[in-house]
Amino acid sequence: MSTAGGAHRPRAGTGHGVVEGRWEAGGTAVFRGVPYAAPPTGPLRFAAPRPPDAWEGVRDAGAFGPTAPKVPYPPAFAALLSDPEIPGEDCLTVNVWTPDPAPGARLPVMVWIHGGAHTRGSSAVPVYDGSAFARDGVVLVSFNFRLGVLGYGLFPDAPANRGLLDQIAALEWVRDNIAAFGGDPGRVTVFGESAGAISIGALLAAPRAAGLFARAVLQSGAPEALPRDQVRTMVRRMAARLRVPATARAFEGVGLHTLLAAQEAAMRRSSPVLGGPAFGLVIDPDTLPADPLEAAASSDVPLLMGWTAQEHRLWLAPTGGGRLLDRLGPLAVAYGQLRGGKDRAAVRALRAALPDLSPADLAGHLVTDRLLRDPLRRIAAAGRPAPSHLYEFRWPSGLPGLGACHALELGFVFDTLALPESAWLAGPDAPQALADEMHRAWVGYAATGDPGWAPWDGNGPPKVFDGPEPEAVRAEAVTPLVLP
């Protein structure tokens, strides 16, 4: 059941009931906050997702549902990355932007999985607005899933990788319901950035996700699984602070505010740059039985993968860490070599290719190679039965010091540069022509499997996305950016 015209609000029938969305600019029908699983509260807090209860009548789908419970970004990062918080624990919901909410439309579908180090982020981030995809003939779906200890805490009495199970449940909802919104369940492309891309790597290895999508896009995230002890340590830290056993049953009895405060304290001693205990995916016989990197290297799912030229700048510039590493000089380079698992020949080759790199950038580049670029190139060069397309995003932010940093490409992919939140990271006057090019490539990939350049054959550079250097970067030397 769908209503696709007139002054009435758009409606669509799902397997659990009818939802009513809103018509927005350009004739796009938008449905927000549609349940794909039951609220993960009480005894379901640490359980596998379960189907939502059916409803009678028409359910309003005019607003985003609650964001997954999470801790806020530290101030330096909150100034750059929008992460709204919508209170409530009924967070397992999807949102749909569609140009034609009619069952016969059979349009390509893109499903967005947000990033945030498995601990932050949501589908309500303004930069992730799906209007431009709908404008260009794609049904865009986004959703929330459990984060942090709720989604990835490792307990002896709860299923592992609950955030991944939520993602699979959302993709099952897409398979079963997206036709009612004008989408083709046989033409689903999943795409994600950072932890969202890491999640897609796990979906490629998860038996329960088989057949739920036809293509995948991994932006600035390589398939990985963390050692179980690394994840378990986070739970033990929290349990010690809460003075309860490190079990799901004990954590169920802790108030949400108290639980998140303990998680925030445990996370202060970890860093994506320095490593250490963290929340993330683990190998598990029931949910993730194979190594995600190995699974991606042999997968028959076509892949589009890439990175930004200076991923590390997001972690180093806002905190002043880049300035510190530059002062350390050779010690910083030695650390990057050790953390990146590189030999001296690799360091010499990088210096020869990029002679102007500072010690901080050299160390950051070496680590990023190990964590991101090397594994994605390995997947592309693995002789997979499906094509792999590679890209690099090189345009530098208009905020001096950030360069072509992690997450900068998002406003270009979604074609949301006009939103104020995009300028938080990109600065003023980001080139719309580059957004047009990049967004068009993602739309083309979803529609036909062709982003506009040839699959990578193991030789030569990846496709490069670049544009005019911002005025602020031209006007002054690139120096570490330190925000209050």
pLDDT in tens, the chain (484 residues): 555 444 589 999 999 999 999 999 889 999 999 999 999 999 999 999 999 999 999 999 999 999 999 999 999 999 999 999 999 989 999 999 999 999 989 999 999 999 999 999 999 999 999 999 999 999 999 999 999 999 999 999 999 999 999 999 999 999 999 999 999 999 999 999 999 999 999 999 999 999 999 999 999 999 999 999 999 999 999 999 999 999 999 999 999 999 999 999 999 877 655 667 899 999 999 999 999 999 999 999 999 999 999 999 998 888 888 888 878 788 878 878 888 788 888 888 888 888 888 888 888 888 899 989 999 999 999 889 999 999 999 999 999 899 999 999 999 999 999 999 999 999 999 999 999 999 999 999 999 999 999 999 888 889 999 999 887 665 544 443 333 2
Closest CA to 224 of 285, 150, 297: 297
Structure token digits, residue 1: 């059941």
CA 192/CA 85 separation, integer angstroms:
20
pLDDT for position 483: 30
Q: Are 149 and 444 in contact (CB under 8 A)?
A: no
b/e string for 103-120 if b means 16 or more Cβ within 10 A? bebbbbbbbbbbbbbbbb
User: CA 229, CA 282: separation in Å to the nearest integer?
Assistant: 10
pLDDT value of position 392: 97
Q: What is the pLDDT, as a whole number, of residue 458?
A: 83
Q: Is the separation of the CB atoms in 142 and 123 below 8 Å?
A: yes
Q: CB–CB of 325/316 below 8 Å?
A: yes
pLDDT, residue 484, reads: 25
Catalogue the active-site residues: 194, 311, 406
pTM: 0.94
Q: Which two tokens stand for residue 60?
A: 């309003």
Kindly give, in sequence order, each residue whose CB lies less than 8 Å from that of residue 2, ignoring residues fewer than 6 positions away: 10, 11, 12, 13, 101, 102, 103, 180, 181, 182
- How far from 111 is each of 119, 181, 185, 216, CA to CA, in Å? 20, 13, 11, 9
Residue with tokens 């995948």: 216
What pLDDT is recorded for position 5? 44
How high is the pLDDT of residue 164? Answer: 98
pLDDT of residue 475: 56
Predicted local confidence at residue 321, as pLDDT:
83
Running DSSP on this structure, what letter comes out for residue 70?
Answer: -
